[in-house]
Amino acid sequence: MEVPAYISIKHDNLGRFRFGAVQGEIDGRIEMLDGVPRFSFSWEGNDEMDVASGRGWVMHDGKQLVGHIYFHMGEDSAFQATHHPRNLSWITKVRASSWRT
């Protein structure tokens, strides 16, 4: 069963995400990049039944979140997310550059 993709980050800089068969927990920090705030994070979780981990980042462009997620020693993908007001998470649209599903 396909579950909608999402990313959710709380005020304590912890969160969760899911893209296809990949899901994980996020631990991140806000950093400044050329004077613009960016949330950089590490993550660990599962890709189907396999243990997976990596890193990523997200920035708010005024309308949506844009970001990139990386597998440790593996693939990566850019994504966009729009705010979902009912559950306070961000619904994502993954633009697969080379994404495992």
Per the structure, the count of domains in the chain is 1
Residue appearing with tokens 């660990």:
44
Look up residue 91 and give its amino acid: I
Helices (H), 1-85: none
Query: 1 lies in a domain?
Result: no
User: What pLDDT, on the 0 to 100 scale, is given for residue 61?
Assistant: 84
Give residue 19's pLDDT: 86
Q: What pLDDT, on a 0 to 100 scale, did the predictor assign at position 87?
A: 53
Model confidence, pTM: 0.80
Splitting the chain (101 residues) into consecutive groups of 10 residues, what average pLDDT does each group show? 79 90 94 92 94 95 88 89 63 46 37
32 within a domain of the structure (yes/no): yes
SS3 at position 62 = coil
Residue 77 CA to residue 97 CA, distance in Å, equals 5
Full residue range of the structural domain in which residue 87 is found: 6-98
Domain membership flag for residue 53 = yes
